[in-house]
């Protein structure tokens, strides 16, 4: 479930998650505040930090209101973990304890407001409106087109950006690259990845005069967040944005990229990011860009409910890669669309290829060479597929190719699009089966290790050698459930078996199914079944005796 985007008076309504272990307080707040009138949805509620963390990951609220003293996971620990998932969200903490260490910890976690109990509905409404106003001011500052235009005119680094772009296009010799690295005060030895950001739509910058400044707004946000860790090497490439991280760790690259995506998404724009493999020289930036584009295209075919960075290392590989000449970026683009695109994107890509060829007024011989080259791309990818379907498609392409050369340009294009769509089905089926295999391996691991209290999505993704964010999306795609929901169901199912077929005490059963705290096990079990473990055993015993 994800909150819908709704607007009140032209302003997006904000989503709230309310966390408190006392039902009376939760219900009282939810009932007494005129949420919609103030520009908020009625809050979703949670009764402890663990439940709240799962809801936060699913719902991605704009504002989180939480108590501090709660069972299983207190409010401050919850905030510490939630800020990693939701760097753009605002946090409001309330507590009945006026302890300095609580306030000090809240400040260190960059909590936006701290309220002491008791407080009135008016007090809470006032603070929420202050937070909302602050969010609107921050957003206005980021999207202030006059300020951005001034920065654009005064601070753009044309020569450095052109150097990087020429590296992406593979236009520089090694010696020239090394010389320009020195000219721009870049380290002589560079080990870096390439991060590619691509815009997929904007919901709020609707004025035509504002659109040219959207990429600059995003660049401004990226530079601001990267500067905390290193000197930002950020530049525009077409309609996309490129970041070259050269002094941060792989973990920091993923963290920063996800934070940038979250911030931009909070402004109403959809953005995806792809991260290349690590390269040891700027002369290799062309390959890095192709890898980042592949990662980005792969992420776009997932059923995503959140925005996160896709890393090239995580993409399933099938056979050896096709070698590309210096001018064959179009080949890579077509192959990526075949693997990860839909029919519309495949048709658009194929039409563009034929339109470019048509503008060149090719003779029959040249047209035959053109069509043979692109049919060869399809055949090579079918060959790498190593399936009977791939072999059949290669035979079809070979059989039909000669007769299609004499067709009018438009008919040849339609035939090629049909072939592309058929090849795409074969390749995407293979990719789906590969990713399904990874998740099946994960499910087997859960079945063998569900009783490990340290089993988490992070630990399992590490075991599978997958990026945690990618693993979460992949797991949900193939199982229809989050990792936490699936693991909880497995543990509750095993607990039922033990309650029905053993005399073990509740705390022993809790340990056997992966819970170190029997109270939390009882809470989870009752939430899942409607009965406490003791009550469930009594009911089962009564039914057996009938």
**Strand arrangement, sheet containing 44-46:** 44-46, 16-19, 63-67, 90-95, 113-116
Cα separation of 46 and 25, whole Å?
11
Task: Please measure the distance between the N-terminal and C-terminal CA atoms of the chain and give it in whole angstroms.
Answer: 42
Cα atoms in the 13 Å half-sphere on the side-chain side of 108? 9
Select from 3.30.70.1230, 3.30.479.10, 1.10.10.10, 3.40.50.2300 the CATH code of 145-314.
3.30.70.1230
pLDDT in tens, 478-492: 888 888 889 999 999
CA distances to 234, 437, 520, 524, 540 from 490, rounded to whole Å, are: 45, 20, 16, 12, 19
Cα separation of 227 and 233, whole Å?
9
Specify the long-range contacts of residues 35-40, CB closer than 8 Å, at least 24 apart: 36/8, 38/125, 38/128, 38/129, 38/132, 39/8, 39/11, 39/13, 39/14, 39/132, 40/13, 40/14, 40/15, 40/16, 40/128, 40/132
Output the CA angle 206-208-212, nearest 5 degrees.
105
Cα separation of 425 and 338, whole Å?
8
CB 181, CB 282: distance < 8 Å: yes
Q: Which DSSP letter does residue 334 get?
A: H
64 CB burial (10 A radius; 0-12, 13-18, 19+): buried
pLDDT in tens, 295-339: 777 766 554 445 556 666 665 554 444 333 324 567 777 887 888
Cα separation of 68 and 470, whole Å?
31
Would you state the pLDDT for residue 313? 62
Q: Which DSSP letter does residue 39 get?
A: T
Would you state the pLDDT for residue 87? 79
Topology adopted by domain 450-545: Arc Repressor Mutant, subunit A (1.10.10)
Would you state the pLDDT for residue 148? 62
Structure tokens at 528: 């899942």
CATH number given to 7-142: 3.40.50.2300
Cα separation of 66 and 461, whole Å?
29
pLDDT in tens, the chain (546 residues): 333 444 444 457 888 899 888 877 778 888 888 888 888 888 888 888 888 888 887 788 889 988 887 877 788 888 887 887 777 888 888 876 655 566 566 666 677 777 777 778 888 888 889 888 888 887 777 667 656 666 645 554 677 787 888 888 777 788 888 888 887 778 878 888 999 988 765 544 444 445 556 667 778 888 888 988 888 888 888 778 899 998 888 888 988 888 888 888 777 777 788 889 888 888 888 888 888 887 777 766 554 445 556 666 665 554 444 333 324 567 777 887 888 778 888 898 888 888 888 888 877 767 777 888 888 888 888 877 667 787 888 888 878 877 776 777 888 889 999 999 999 888 888 776 767 778 888 898 999 899 999 898 888 888 887 777 778 778 888 888 888 889 999 999 999 999 999 999 999 999 999 998 888 889 889 988 999 999 998 887 776 655
For β-strands 7-8 and 11-12, DSSP reports them as: antiparallel
Identify the helix (H) or strand (E) that includes residue 199.
strand 195-202
For β-strands 234-237 and 240-243, DSSP reports them as: antiparallel
- Beta bridge partners of residue 93, listed in sequence order: 66, 114
Would you state the pLDDT for residue 495? 94
Would you state the pLDDT for residue 525? 92
Cα separation of 530 and 200, whole Å?
43
CB 514, CB 452: distance < 8 Å: yes
Would you state the pLDDT for residue 38? 87
Would you state the pLDDT for residue 307? 55
Cα separation of 174 and 194, whole Å?
19
Would you state the pLDDT for residue 23? 79
**Residue whose C-alpha is closest to residue 430's, from 359, 338, 292:** 338
CB 533, CB 506: distance < 8 Å: yes
175 CB burial (10 A radius; 0-12, 13-18, 19+): exposed
Count the residues in the chain: 546
């Amino acid at each position: 479930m994800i909150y819908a985007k709704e607007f009140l008076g032209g302003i997006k309504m904000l989503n709230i998650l309310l966390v408190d272990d006392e039902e009376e307080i939760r219900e009282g707040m939810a009932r007494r505040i005129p949420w919609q009138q103030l520009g908020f949805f009625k809050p979703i509620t949670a009764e402890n930090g663990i439940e709240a963390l799962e809801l936060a990951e699913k719902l991605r609220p704009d504002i989180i209101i939480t108590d501090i003293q709660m069972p299983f996971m207190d409010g401050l620990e919850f905030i510490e973990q939630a800020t990693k998932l939701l760097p753009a969200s605002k946090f409001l903490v309330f507590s009945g304890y006026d302890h300095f260490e609580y306030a000090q910890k809240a400040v260190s976690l960059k909590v936006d407001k701290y309220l002491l109990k008791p407080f009135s509905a008016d007090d809470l409404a006032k603070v929420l409106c202050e937070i909302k106003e602050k969010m609107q001011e921050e957003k206005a500052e980021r999207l202030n087109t006059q300020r951005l235009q001034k920065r654009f005119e005064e601070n753009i680094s044309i020569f450095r950006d052109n150097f990087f772009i020429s590296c992406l296009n593979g236009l520089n010799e090694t010696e020239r690259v090394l010389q320009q690295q020195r000219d721009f005060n870049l380290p002589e030895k560079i080990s870096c990845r390439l991060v590619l950001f691509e815009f997929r739509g904007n919901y709020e910058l609707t004025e035509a005069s504002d659109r040219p400044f959207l990429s600059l707004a995003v660049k401004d946000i990226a530079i601001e967040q990267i500067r905390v860790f290193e000197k930002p090497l950020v530049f525009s490439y077409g309609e996309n944005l490129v970041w070259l991280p050269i002094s941060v760790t792989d973990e920091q690259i993923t963290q920063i990229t996800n934070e940038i995506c979250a911030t931009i998404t909070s402004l109403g724009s959809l953005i995806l990011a792809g991260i290349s493999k690590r390269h040891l020289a700027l002369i290799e930036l062309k390959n890095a860009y192709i890898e980042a584009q592949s990662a980005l295209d792969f992420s776009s075919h997932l059923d995503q409910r959140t925005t996160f960075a896709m890393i090239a290392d995580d993409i399933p590989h099938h056979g050896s890669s096709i070698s590309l000449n210096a001018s064959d970026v179009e080949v890579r683009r077509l192959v990526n669309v075949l693997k990860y695109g839909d029919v519309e994107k495949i048709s658009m890509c194929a039409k563009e290829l034929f339109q470019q060829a048509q503008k060149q007024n090719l003779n029959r011989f040249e047209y035959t060479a053109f069509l043979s080259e692109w049919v060869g791309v399809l055949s090579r990818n079918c060959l790498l597929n190593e399936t009977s379907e791939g072999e059949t498609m290669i035979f079809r392409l070979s059989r039909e190719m000669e007769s299609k050369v004499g067709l009018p340009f438009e008919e040849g294009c339609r035939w090629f699009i049909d072939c592309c769509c058929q090849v795409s089905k074969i390749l995407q089926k293979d990719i789906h089966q590969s990713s399904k295999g990874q998740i099946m391996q994960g499910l087997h691991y859960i079945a063998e290790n569900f009783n490990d209290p340290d089993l988490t999505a992070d630990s399992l993704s590490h075991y599978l050698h997958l990026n945690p964010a990618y693993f979460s999306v992949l797991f949900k795609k193939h199982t229809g459930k989050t990792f936490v929901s699936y693991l909880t169901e497995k543990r509750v199912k095993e607990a039922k078996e033990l309650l029905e077929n053993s005399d073990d005490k509740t705390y022993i059963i809790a340990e056997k199914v992966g819970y170190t705290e029997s109270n939390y096990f009882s809470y989870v079990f009752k939430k899942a079944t409607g009965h406490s473990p003791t009550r469930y055993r009594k009911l089962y015993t009564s039914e057996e005796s009938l």
